[in-house]
Structure 1
Amino acid sequence: MKAIGFKTSLPIENPESFIEFEAVKPIPGPHDLLVKIDAISVNPVDFKIRQNSAKDTVLETPKIIGWDAVGIVQAVGQDVTLFEVGDPVYYAGDITKQGSNAEYQIIDERIVGRKPKSLSVEESAAIPLTALTAWEILFDRIRITADKDKGKSILIIGGAGGVGSIAIQLAKKIAGLTVIATASRLETIEWCKKQGADFVVDHKDLVSSVREAGFEYVDFILDFVDTNAYWDTMVELIKPQGHIASITGSSDLVALTKLKSKSVSFSWELMYTRSMYQTEDMVEQHNILNIVADLLDDSILKTTLNTTLHGLTAENLKKAHELLESGKTIGKIAIKL
């Protein structure tokens, strides 16, 4: 099968940053599906892994990355119960295994959902990783519910990005929150409003912008940009007994003691935790993806796709990564095979 990968970590402008090669079609294990891929999308985790996973070394076999895909089930493992051959599916993958930048992929059925019926393959490919991340951070980490939290305020730092775009929709349409999103350019401001943000504030002077919007403090804060860069701002803006959650990680220590006087909770979210550790509730990602598919088919949520490239080629992967690395992408980038 055709695949796109890399043998060493190189700048994206290097001709060898991605290479095309022939790989053996994988064979599904007991809980696996073999999926013929129709479309993929890219995420910041893709370029971060490309930049860091093969530094100062040359791999014997190219590494295949990519963690969003849509396709058709071609074969199933002996213990598979959730899907059958011919089912259209979508998923965000498992960071410990080969990725989706290939014609075929094996994937554990417990982290796979049914493809939304109303969306194209590229529109569907834009959804899984960001929807799972946003769903888990809102409903599994902070444990927001519409019953107890409807009308409360949430600040989403990085509203126009892939995760921010779907988090705005979930926070507004499912949780019933008052959504404040950050953006600074005209096009990103309009994009956040289109996703459903009630207020859009300037991340360059976030404290002043939030307070000018009428909020002394906010109940919840989601960081999708840089934990430490915004830490003091988040500490200032969070309401006493509020909750901050982040997906971005930090190379430096996070000063959690600054939350003590307000009794504020803090959570990390990593979408890969369930598959990495084979948690007892791993099948929840299957359930979440099916719920999201229903919400998309009912037009409650909408795809966050903004750019589509055509063809599984090294050049298209380079172009997609270059766009991501610019830090100025809006919504999601998909590649239709």
Structure 2
Amino acid sequence: MSAPTSKMRAVAMFDSLPSTEAEFLKDVEVERPTPGLRDLLVEIAAVSINPVDSKTRMRAGKQETPKILGFDAAGTVVEVGAEVTLFAPGDKVFYAGSNQRQGSNAEFQLVDERIVGHAPQGLAETEAAALPLVALTAWEALFERLPITEESTGTLLVLGGAGGVTSLIIQLARNLTNLKVVATASRPESQEWVKKLGAHEVIDHSQNLSEQIKDVDFVFSSWTTGRELELAQLMKPQSHLVLIDDPEQPNLGAFKQKSIALHWEFMFTRAMFQTPDMAEQGKILNKIAELVAAGKLISPKNQVLEGLNAATIMEGHRLVEQGKTIGKIVVRT
């Protein structure tokens, strides 16, 4: 039997090139990594493409060595670090990883065990790979940033309801709270998607929102730029807004008179700063897996591309950058 190779295939960037370039990502061969004390070495079976993949590519700049992108992944643990206690080789896992380490667009990846979950039982790896980043973002936004609990009532407005994160926001709010969930969507296919996920009502974000809804208690926004006055008009006094985007020159003063509370959600905070509660992300993923197994959540996977190579990952980046994706794009290795 031949000895295992120390090399692995991956897809990497070397500069912040636009997706109009023929080879803005490249196939490379790099050293297969070795686990640190709390690391898992995971053999990747599927990954999904997120808008943050494209944003990371365009912000990273020139690289002296190959920078591997990708966050979401599903796969099998093949090796563990000396201090790992939560997983063993052979375990099926899913996770969103860290923005401080090499990504999931590779045959193998290292990930800290504290931000990893056991993959949902009976779920295909392509379905599992679509979940972690959006599920963590949605969970943290609803239950950690906003003051929402299982007893919460009132109205939650979800902007851009057919996206990846919002697909989980709608489902979690419907299954775990008493909130009325109103989602925005502008195309017939996206309107059908959010209805399928459980939105009580759907309104059109291509029109003025404040003319379609009033007295909102909670708002989740992934596109806030230019909507500040509109949102302030439709929200109740002393209500709450959580956002995940990067508003350009935001008009925060629009929210002052109503004492509207603004909350930021950035899923990478815990891993980025090694916070004391970093292991909460693994616990959240295990809760998500239980909800999926119980039939209370469905994966936002909507399109599957074949082959973990530069051509396929580039196609995924181009699709995401169009801004019209329903659910998630997954790549099967």
CA distance in 2, matches of 1:334, 1:176: 32
Aligned to 1:144: 148
Q: Deviation at 1:206?
A: 3.3
CA distance in 2, matches of 1:155, 1:85: 42
SS of the equivalent of 2:292 reads: helix
Aligned to 1:118: 122
AA matched with 1:14: E
Percent identity (aligned): 47
CA distance in 2, matches of 1:112, 1:222: 25
Q: How do residues 191-210 of structure 1 correspond to structure 2 at under 5 angstroms?
A: 191-210=193-212
CA distance in 1, matches of 2:112, 2:168: 24
AA matched with 1:110: R
Q: In the alignment, which of 18, 31, 34 is matched to residue 25 of structure 2? A: 18
CA distance in 2, matches of 1:80, 1:228: 43
SS of the equivalent of 1:4 reads: strand
AA matched with 1:219: D
Are positions 1:217 and 2:215 aligned together? Answer: yes
AA matched with 1:188: S
SS of the equivalent of 1:334 reads: strand
**TM-score, length basis structure 2:** 0.96
Aligned to 1:304: 300
Answer whether contact 1:118 1:296 (CA < 8 A) is retained.
Answer: no
Answer whether contact 2:210 2:230 (CA < 8 A) is retained.
Answer: no
CA distance in 2, matches of 1:62, 1:8: 9
Aligned to 2:165: 163
Question: Structure 1: which 5+ runs fail to align?
Answer: none
Q: In the alignment, which of 220, 236, 251 is matched to residue 239 of structure 1? A: 236
Q: Deviations over 1:30-63 (max 9, x none)?
A: 1110000000001000011112211xx3x22111
Answer whether contact 2:48 2:73 (CA < 8 A) is retained.
Answer: yes
Q: Deviations over 1:219-265 (max 9, x none)?
A: 0000012x22221111111111110010002232x333322221211
**TM-score, length basis structure 1:** 0.95
Q: How do residues 226-305 of structure 1 correspond to structure 2 at under 5 angstroms?
A: 227-252=224-249, 254-305=250-301
Q: In the alignment, which of 8, 13, 21 is matched to residue 15 of structure 2? A: 8
Q: How do residues 123-134 of structure 1 correspond to structure 2 at under 5 angstroms?
A: 123-134=127-138
Q: How do residues 87-126 of structure 1 correspond to structure 2 at under 5 angstroms?
A: 87-126=91-130
Answer whether contact 2:228 2:254 (CA < 8 A) is retained.
Answer: no
CA distance in 2, matches of 1:207, 1:88: 43
Answer whether contact 2:228 2:252 (CA < 8 A) is retained.
Answer: no
Structure 1 residue ranges, 4+ long, deviating more than 4 angstroms after superposition: none
Are positions 1:69 and 2:66 aligned together? Answer: no
Q: Deviations over 1:259-300 (max 9, x none)?
A: 222121110100000000100100000000000000000000
CA distance in 2, matches of 1:209, 1:232: 12
Are positions 1:322 and 2:315 aligned together? Answer: no
CA distance in 1, matches of 2:20, 2:107: 24
Aligned length: 326
Q: Root-mean-square deviation (CA), in Å?
A: 1.1
Q: In the alignment, which of 83, 92, 95 is matched to residue 87 of structure 2? A: 83
Q: Deviation at 1:208?
A: 4.7
CA distance in 1, matches of 2:156, 2:122: 30
Answer whether contact 1:310 1:336 (CA < 8 A) is retained.
Answer: yes
Q: Deviation at 1:11?
A: 1.7
Answer whether contact 2:73 2:129 (CA < 8 A) is retained.
Answer: yes
CA distance in 2, matches of 1:199, 1:308: 29
Q: Deviations over 1:168-216 (max 9, x none)?
A: 10111112211111111000000010111111101022335533xxxx2
Q: Deviation at 1:314?
A: 0.7
